[in-house]
Structure 1
Amino acid sequence: MKNIILYMSLMLVFTQVQAQKDFQGMAVYESKTQAPKFEGMLGNRDITPEMQKNMEERMKKMLEKTFILNFDKSTSIYKEEEKLETPGQQGGFRIMAGLMGGGGTFYKDVKNKSYTIDKEFMGKEFLVVDSLPKLNWKLEQETKLIGGYTCYKATAVKEASKSDFRNFRPKNNDDKKPEEKKDDTKKTSGETKTNFEDNFEMPKEITVTAWYSPEIPINQGPENYWGLPGLILEINDGKTTILCSKIVLNAKEKVTIKPPTNGKVISQKDYDETVIKKMKEFREMNGGRAGGPPPMMGK
């Protein structure tokens, strides 16, 4: 009798270990970023209000994306859902999409605290390999339901990625001196062209608010977010909101979760510097014309 009980206990432990090993899930996220206003940014007088409105509508639609997160206990792949490219989204708009949080495969390994992303920028393939940023999360008691899951609030301050143009914020002119405001007025009037930097700036840090569910006890989330006692179902950084719309746990068909391998291996810092350098070179080649990052050019 004792042998039977021992056998059953061992089988139960084995089954639980195997279930943890085979655990896998999929989460669908809808990402929306507040589109920048082109008013005052475009120095070209040939651009009519109708053209400006059309550009803003295209930008808004381009900044609405759907992502799929496939995950197990320690690794995940976050990738934009493939869809047909719409007319007018070639060239510069496609480049902009990549710099606005789209494109590429984002692989995270929370056990080894590392990530790998394949990026294409101006015709070149890069493989960004680096350590996951460790955020000092502040756990709060506030809760809300997302898709039937009870989620808890957490906040953190993170360094803004210099190659992610979603992080650009309108400059706060309230603290400027009268003479500085007068100079800005001159820049946006007459024949003087307006540079993107005159209206926007990249902050050093941004505050993010996360909502995570301990009911799905994995240390994962969209993009490079991680480090909470539950799957992150929503992230907001003031400009971009990423919200989970669907969760499937332990589907019959398993997904292979492994890092991408194509591209020149580069650190995040070096990739950021490469993007900034190339964007600066392009602006100089085009006479410093306005239009914001990245340029809306054709290939």
Structure 2
Amino acid sequence: MLRSILFLLLMCSSVMLFAQKEGTIQYTIVNQLNFEAPEGMEEMFKNMPKERSSKRELLFTSEEGLFRNVEDKIGNESDEVSLEDEGIHIKMNFNEPEETLYTNLAEGKTIHQRDLFGKTFLVTGTPEKMNWKVGKGKKKIADYICMEATTMQDDTVQVVAWFTPQIPISMGPEGFGGLPGMILQVDIDGGNTKITASEVSLESPDAEGMVAPSKGKKVDHETFIKIREEKLKEMNAQGGGRGIRIIEHRG
């Protein structure tokens, strides 16, 4: 453990003098689809895809970050899945909601434009403080040397992050941060969700694109969670929320 800490300190000190502190990172998000087939429909659900992937990008400077959808992915027709067996037809839509997360490290604030069952909210808050433990693991992601760190969400969900001191900005995808370097990969809940950087550009991001979202009903994080819980209770009561599991990260 001591060797890992010394390696981290030496690496940070050697790269921070020359490292670029702005750019754009392309991420691929892969979600495992752990659907439970209703009784009697097991054969039909064998054709259900096992995972879905999407693209997002992080624009960043030394003080600001904007994590957003890649425009050409939203509304893609390939995100629709149809299942049919013995006269029963089920259609599922996996379109990515239009969400944008703005982080301002200098001011200690976040603004998250989120979609909730067809309604748009503007969720205000602060960057989440996470109790990271830096491990011994090291690997390369998108040509950057990364170090391993782990934490827990809600005391039950393990999060494994891989960050690089070569980009000395305490940010990452989906609001993850708090490490001495950019997070290039996040593994949530044993691989149920994995976010991985596929391309890193250290050219200055478009200044016009680095704008905090302003569309939606403005609420704080606690209010948003309360609204969502009430909506899920309504769906469960109507039989439409069965099997829905949401792992909340406060971005």
- TM class by shorter chain equals 0.7 to 0.9
Match of 2:236 in 1: 283
1:49 aligns with 2:43: yes
Normalized per residue, the structure richer in helix is 1
1:120 aligns with 2:73: no
Please list the CA deviations of residues 231-288 of structure 1 after superposition, one character each: whole Å capped at 9, or x if unmatched: 111111212111101000024854531211111111222212211211221232x3x3
- Displacement of 1:142 in angstroms is 2.5
For the residues of structure 2 that align with 1:125 and 1:89, how far apart are their CA atoms? 25
Q: Secondary structure at the match of 2:51?
A: helix
Q: 1:208 to 1:250 in 2, by over 3 A?
A: same
Q: 1:289 to 1:131 in 2, by over 3 A?
A: closer
Q: Secondary structure at the match of 1:283?
A: helix
Return the letter of the residue paired with 2:161: A
Q: Provide the TM-score with structure 1 as the length reference.
A: 0.64
Q: Provide the TM-score with structure 2 as the length reference.
A: 0.75
Gaps of 5+ in 2: 1-17, 83-90, 246-251
Q: 1:269 to 1:252 in 2, by over 3 A?
A: closer
Match of 2:8 in 1: none
For the residues of structure 1 that align with 2:92 and 2:226, how far apart are their CA atoms? 21
Residue number among 17, 24, 27 corresponding to 1:26 in the alignment: 24
Residue number among 122, 143, 150 corresponding to 1:148 in the alignment: 143
Return the letter of the residue paired with 2:185: E
Structure with higher Rg: it is 1
For the residues of structure 1 that align with 2:204 and 2:124, how far apart are their CA atoms? 30
Return the letter of the residue paired with 1:49: E
Equivalent residues, number: 215
Q: Kindly, what percent of the aligned residue pairs are identical?
A: 26
Q: 1:75 to 1:66 in 2, by over 3 A?
A: same
CA contact (8 A) 1:74 1:219 kept: no
Q: 1:148 to 1:256 in 2, by over 3 A?
A: same
Match of 2:55 in 1: 66
Q: Secondary structure at the match of 1:223?
A: helix
Return the letter of the residue paired with 2:27: Y
Normalized per residue, the structure richer in strand is 2
CA contact (8 A) 2:59 2:205 kept: no
CA contact (8 A) 1:70 1:255 kept: no
Q: Secondary structure at the match of 1:271?
A: helix
Match of 1:38 in 2: 36
Residue number among 86, 99, 123 corresponding to 1:104 in the alignment: 99
CA contact (8 A) 2:30 2:194 kept: yes
Q: 1:28 to 1:122 in 2, by over 3 A?
A: same
Q: Which has the higher contact order (CA 8 A, sep 6+)?
A: 1
Residue number among 215, 225, 246 corresponding to 1:262 in the alignment: 215
